[in-house]
Amino acid sequence: MSRCSLRKLAGIVFSLAAAASLASPASAAAATAVNGGDAMYTVSPGPGREPYYCSAGFAILVKDVRYVLTAGHCTEHGLDWKDIGANGDTHFPGTDYGRIHDPSGSAHAQVDLYNGSTQRILRAGTPRVGQTVCKSGMTTKKTCGKVLGLNQTVNYGDGKLVVGTIATDIPVGEGDSGGPLFYAGVGYGVLSGGNSQVSFFQPLPPVLAAYGATLA
């Protein structure tokens, strides 16, 4: 898929062969203290017990219960996530978010910057077109770029559409799905899919509202 201009982004449906996720690269599973962008590992419930890797998004609280927010197409495939907890629910397609029970976690919502430090996320927001934003993920680590458009619809094939996404020019790779979109202390969304030229994120504020959640 070629790089899209702002003009091309206005009001069209993007088609991507697959979401950027669910691969099995040679990478360690997430540690017990899960930060946004950290690797997460599970296996499919099918007979092949296929391994799946995704990235953590944001730590959230729903009625004082802690969860890891990630992409819904990640949580629809897995069983328990190693060193984290069990799937909570899945919302995909249409939207693309899900949560994982995290009974052992207690830290504030933070993003792994992959330089030995983390960024605390203080609030959720909506970015502006043209704004600088960053993402964190297990495969491509922390990378930054620009917001290309809001309220974009992505077609992943087989009738799987995700609407209302944030489009950016940040390249992403397999395993990055679910990772956070952020800048400084503001969280904007979790990675739904993309490729080396364009990426799409499920916005964070409507997910928090749907769950009645707050950032941890």
96 tagged catalytic = yes
Strands 97-101 and 87-91 turn out to be antiparallel
Query: How many angstroms separate the CA atoms of 152 and 138, rounded?
Result: 25
Q: Which domains does the chain have, with CATH numbers?
A: 6-20+113-203 (2.40.10.10)
pTM score, whole prediction: 0.87
State the catalytic residue, choosing from 21, 55, 136, 177.
177
- Digit-coded pLDDT (tens) for 88-147: 999 999 999 999 999 876 789 999 999 999 999 999 999 999 999 999 999 999 999 999
Give the SS3 label for residue 169: coil
Question: What whole-number distance in Å separates Cα of residue 9 and Cα of residue 169?
Answer: 11
Residue 38's contacts (CB-CB under 8 Å, 6 or more residues apart) are: 30, 31, 55, 56, 112, 138
Choose the catalytic residue: 38, 96, 102, 112. Answer: 96
Q: pLDDT tier at 16 (50, 70, 90 boundaries)?
A: low
pLDDT of residue 17: 40
Among 21, 38, 55, 73, the one annotated catalytic: 73
Token pair listed for 55:
């990235």
Q: In sequence order, what are the residues at sequence separation of 6 or more whose Cβ sits closer than 8 angstroms to the Cβ of residue 158?
A: none
At 214, the pLDDT band (50, 70, 90 cuts) reads: very high
Burial 167-180 (b: 16+ CB within 10 A, else e): bbbbbbbbbbbbbb
Q: Give the residue among 133, 116, 124 at the shortest CA–CA distance from 58.
A: 124
